[in-house]
Amino acid sequence: MAVVNLFYISLLLPPLFLLFLLFLIIRPRPVQIPIKKRHVFITGGSSGIGLALAHQAASEGAHVSILSRSIDKLEEAKNAIKLSAGIDVAIFAADVRDFEAVQRAIDEAGPIDVLIVNQGVFVAQELEEQKLDEVRFIIDVNLMGSFNMIKAALPGMKRSRKDRGPGSIALMSSQAGQVGIYGYTAYSASKFGLRGLAEALQQEVIGDNIHVSLVFPPDTETPGLVEENKRKPQLTSIIAASSGAMKADQVAKKALDGIKSGSFIIPCNFEGILLSIATAGLSPQRSYLMAFVEVVAAGILRIAALCFQWNWYGSIEKWHVQKNCKHRMPPLTSVICFIVTRKAFGPWNLEALGT
């Protein structure tokens, strides 16, 4: 009996030691960031995830400001929040690409406790087909717009921070900011850039009690998604569909909960959790339990990631086979090719590829 007990104890010692070690070394340390009666400033706040975040924050008693380009949409959003939460929100019309306009809005809004940089544009298209002006527009809004917002807000956020409690800067990235996807060359570049910004910025502002979060939502059911899908390449739809879509209010709740707990990485669904563990790398981690999962699961999830890549590249290969059959062969050869590929890949996969 004693031998059995010693055996079980020997099995438990390594994970317990690892947990204790992670508890000692994780940085930054855990923190709670209150929302009630604090100034929450949200960009892209007139629709989609931004509007859902504004609703959520207002319902929790925050003083909410929202910024967007369209004053008409801002007025509609303000009225909707007033109707649902009974709270007035401040509205500011500005283009995040224009630093001077952003600075004026920030100065008028006053010191911010929680800045949620949520604006974003997305056009899925192969790089060869996409115009460089459109690439610049995506990067200017998604990445440079985030720099502009943070640069304008940071001095006021730092001021009297000891008396005002912990602050937060949250950046709305995307699962396309964790893994590159066909047709997302410009968009993924802009969202991957946010991760580098967030990791470096956290080191710069931690001494001022400001905590950075990076939110990774999947496709979200917003007006913007409807427009995006009109131009989205077929292969992009096939690959991106593996994660599924969420509602804006679901993403907003996950995001706000993560911000309040000071999490650096905030996934929004199960696939997002797996992606976050698989891509943790040198990112900060406040939870020693989550750090334990990252350490233990890293090898297994690398295998899973390779399986995903195998599936995605398989879809790409099949799509190209079908494309070649339809567009580059005589009619009789095309029929023969269709029969061969149907035998090789099966009817279900070919239907998924639009056959």
DSSP at 142:
I
| Residue among 146, 168, 173, 276 flagged as catalytic | 173
| Residue among 191, 232, 254, 318 flagged as catalytic | 191
Report the distance separating Cα 86 and Cα 78, nearest Å.
10
DSSP at 350:
H
Exposed/middle/buried for 16, CB within 10 Å: 0-12, 13-18, 19+?
Answer: exposed
Polymer length in residues for the chain: 355
Give the three-class secondary structure for 67: strand
Report the distance separating Cα 41 and Cα 55, nearest Å.
12
Whether the upstream peptide bond of residue 15 has omega within 30° of 0, thus cis, is: no
Element (H, E) at 42: strand 39-43
| Residue among 187, 232, 243, 315 flagged as catalytic | 187
Could you tell me which of 262, 273, 225 has the C-alpha nearest to residue 247? 225
- 187 is a catalytic site residue: yes
- 288 is a catalytic site residue: no
- 261 is a catalytic site residue: no
Element (H, E) at 210: strand 210-216
Rg (CA), the chain: 23
In the numeric block, which tokens belong to residue 284?
Answer: 């900060």
List active site positions: 173, 187, 191
